[in-house]
A = this chain, B = another copy of it.
Amino acid sequence: MRGSYIRSHEGDRLCRALDLLEPLGPAERAALTNLPLRCRTLAPGEYIERQGDARGDCCFVLEGLLCRSKILPHGQRQILSFYYPGDLAGIEMMRLRYNDYNILTLSSCRVAYVSHAAMEQLIGAYPVLAAAFWKQTLVEGAVHREWIIGIGRRTARERFAHLVCEMFVRMKMLGLAPANRFPAPLTQTDIADALGLSLVHVNRTLGELRRGGLIDFRRQTLQVINWGELRDLAGFDPHYLQIRCPFPEKFGSVSSTITSV
């Protein structure tokens, strides 16, 4: 099952995402685009990894949204994180023996599989790339912590708002949120499982945020309407995402643009 080759704009996006973590030189860019990749297009709901399975290859996200989830013995589901374009899913399986989580597509996705062997070689040869991957893991940890805080101590409205802020900022960084709109290929059930809430309550909370003029969510698209209020409600501070570019400044102006509407 040999996949197609990576497309040029997909390679660009991959480089861009990693460059946000660590500045890449031309050598690293070349090494990335010359990686032996197996590219594939996956339908929504396809699994990259399954809980309990033997560890599989690493997987670059080129396009679309994936998530990591776990099903509990009583059947409840918890979504643990999202994977955005440029993220490298399943990298921890290079070092760990057991895999307790599912990684699966939420939307139609373009992904690029890389063998562990190729990754080891890449990391060994390019310390900057090793640093970038290592840093991505650390940011993932920081995001985990922010989720713990949200689920542990924030109300449903704050929690929902915080998730929207996080997705918005990440998509914006990737240039995928023009006019403060970005694709969010999630059902309300998915959101509930990410926020640790029930489907019904997510629906009601969404209604409140919508009626409050903070966001809109229709046809798999999230729109941030009142960034200032949304951010304040969530208590959102983007520091934990460790954005390298001067994003907060740039973002302030966007924010004021929005709130002045």
Contact = CB atoms under 8 A, between A and B. Distances in A.
Contacts of A196: 148, 151-153
A217 interface: no
A239 B100 contact: yes
A80 interface: yes
A93 to B, nearest CB: 9
Given A142-B100, A235-B72, A95 B149 contact: no
B92 A138 contact: yes
Contact of A147 (B98, B139, B148): B148
A134 interface: yes
Given A101-B145, A141-B141, A148-B78, A96 B153 contact: no
A205 interface: no
Interface string A113-147: 00000000000000000010011011111101101
Copies of the protein in its oligomer: 2
A239 B95 contact: no
A240 B98 contact: yes
B97 A149 contact: no
A134 B80 contact: no
B149 A70 contact: yes
A237 interface: yes
A100 B131 contact: no
B80 A131 contact: no
Contacts of A145: 68, 70, 80-81, 100-101, 144
Contact of A141 (B140, B151, B152, B239): B140
Contacts of A81: 145
A98 to B, nearest CB: 4
Contact of A137 (B141, B149, B235): B141
A242 interface: yes
Considering the complex of A and B, which 8 residue pairs feature the smallest CB-CB distances, nearest first? A152-B196, A144-B144, A98-B239, A76-B153, A151-B151, A78-B149, A92-B138, A78-B152
